[in-house]
Structures are given as structure tokens and as C-alpha cells.
């Protein structure tokens, strides 16, 4: 019985994440979530008396899934695949991976970031998960390249932060204010970002 209850709750949470990511929290209904989960609407209220309770638990699950699996696995795969490539090719591949990742999970990302504004415990969990995974993976790129003599011996964390800041700015600008973008071809923009990051803008 306990196993069945856990399976039902899992279905409800997964359905909630799916519906919230498509429609947002306010527009989503428990009836839609119930249909997506394949359960009666009343079953949802046995586990979560209020829709807000369901949102909170679903967001916790989404954050775990988002950071530990979605955000990390593809990045690890790119780094492994481009291990022997030049630093330029590796960074271009990382940027393309992050762009594809953002486009694929854009709806879920929007829901998570919207809810982070209002829930301190979710913010803390998100930052904790993020700091446990991404910085170590990305800084490892630059540590290995320093050891090979490809880049200067500078603080890997600051290098990582600068690079990810440039990438995130590009993604957000293209996503939310595309009319500001002056470059039509993404590949050209990625090449320019990598060039500026590695070589700077000084003559």
C-alpha cells in the first residue's frame, strides 16, 4: 500500500511540474494536473490540501531534477566529448549546450525562477544544488587547460564566473529582448564571445 501511495504521489508531482511549466502556477488547475497524472482530482487533495502545497513540493522536486540531472548531465557529456579539442572548440560546444538546454527547458526555468522570488527555502535549495554541481564542473575545464598551459594561471572560480556570466547574458538577451540583438547568426556571436573571453578587446 505504501509503495502504491508513493507511486501515486510521484505521478501527481510529475504532472504538476509538467502543467506548471506549460501554463504557470496561477493558470494551472488541479483538474488538469489530475488528468495528466491519471488520478481523480480528489486524490490530489488527499496528498496536498491546497494547490500551494502541491506547488511547493513540486518545485522542490523540480529543483533537484533540474540542477542534478538536466543542468549537469549534458554539460558533463560535452566536456567529456571535447576533452581533446582546443579550448576554443570546447567553449563553443559548452555555449551551444547551454543554449539548447535553456530552449528545451525554458518553461520550467521560468516557473522555477518566478517561484524563487517568493520562497526563501526554495532559493536556498536552488543555490545549494547549483553550487554543489555547476562551479566544480565548469572550473574543472579551466584547471585542466591551465595544467596544459593553454590559459594563464588565474583563479578558476573567477574565470568560470566570467565565462558563465557572458553566456547567461547572451541567452537571456536572445530569449527576452531579441530585438536588441545586432547579430543574426548565433554561430558568429558564439565565436565572438569566445574570442573576447579568451583574448579580450584590447588591441
Sorted by sequence, the CB contacts under 8 Å of residue 189 that are 6+ apart come out as: 170, 181, 183
Domain of residue 153, CATH code = 1.10.357
Q: Which of 19, 24, 16, 107 is nearest to 58 (CA)?
A: 16
For residue 146, is it within any domain?
A: yes
For residue 67, is it within any domain?
A: no
Report residue 2's pLDDT band, with 50, 70 and 90 as the boundaries. Answer: low
The pLDDT value given to residue 1: 44
For residue 43, is it within any domain?
A: no
The pLDDT tens digits for 42-89 are 999 988 888 888 888 888 887 877 777 767 888 888 888 988 889 899
State if pTM tops 0.95.
Answer: no
Domain total in the chain = 1
The pLDDT tens digits for 176-185 are 777 776 677 8
> Which backbone phi and psi does 138 adopt, to 5 degrees?
-70, -40
DSSP 151: S
For residue 161, is it within any domain?
A: yes
Please state whether 134 falls in left (phi above 0), alpha (psi between -120 and 50) or beta: alpha
For residue 9, is it within any domain?
A: no
The pLDDT tens digits for 5-22 are 888 888 888 888 888 888
- pLDDT, mean of residues 91-113: 85
For residue 11, is it within any domain?
A: no
For residue 133, is it within any domain?
A: yes
DSSP 90: H
For residue 97, is it within any domain?
A: yes
Report the residue count for the chain. 203
**Whole domain around residue 177: which residue ranges?**
85-199
Report CA-CA distances (Å) from 132 to 72, 103, 135, 189.
11, 23, 7, 30
Buried b (16+ CB within 10 A) or exposed e, 26-57: eebebebbbebbebeeebbeeebeebeebbeb
Amino acid at each position: 500500500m505504501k509503495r502504491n501511495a508513493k507511486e501515486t504521489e510521484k505521478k501527481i508531482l510529475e504532472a504538476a511540474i509538467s502543467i506548471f511549466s506549460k501554463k504557470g502556477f496561477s493558470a494551472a488547475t488541479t483538474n488538469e494536473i489530475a488528468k495528466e497524472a491519471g488520478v481523480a482530482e480528489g486524490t490530489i487533495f488527499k496528498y496536498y490540501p491546497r494547490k500551494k502545497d502541491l506547488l511547493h513540493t513540486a518545485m522542490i522536486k523540480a529543483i533537484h531534477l533540474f540542477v542534478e540531472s538536466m543542468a549537469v548531465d549534458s554539460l558533463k557529456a560535452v566536456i567529456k566529448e571535447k576533452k581533446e579539442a582546443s579550448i576554443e572548440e570546447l567553449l563553443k560546444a559548452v555555449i551551444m549546450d547551454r543554449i539548447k538546454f535553456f530552449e528545451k527547458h525554458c518553461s520550467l526555468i521560468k516557473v522555477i525562477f518566478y517561484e524563487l522570488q517568493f520562497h526563501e527555502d526554495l532559493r536556498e535549495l536552488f543555490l545549494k544544488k547549483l553550487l554543489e554541481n555547476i562551479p566544480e564542473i565548469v572550473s574543472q575545464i579551466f584547471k585542466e587547460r591551465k595544467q596544459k598551459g593553454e590559459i594563464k594561471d588565474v583563479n578558476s572560480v573567477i574565470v568560470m564566473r566570467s565565462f558563465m556570466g557572458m553566456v547567461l547574458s547572451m541567452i537571456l538577451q536572445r530569449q527576452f529582448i531579441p530585438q536588441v540583438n545586432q547579430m543574426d547568426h548565433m554561430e558568429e556571436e558564439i565565436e565572438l564571445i569566445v574570442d573576447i573571453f579568451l583574448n579580450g578587446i584590447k588591441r
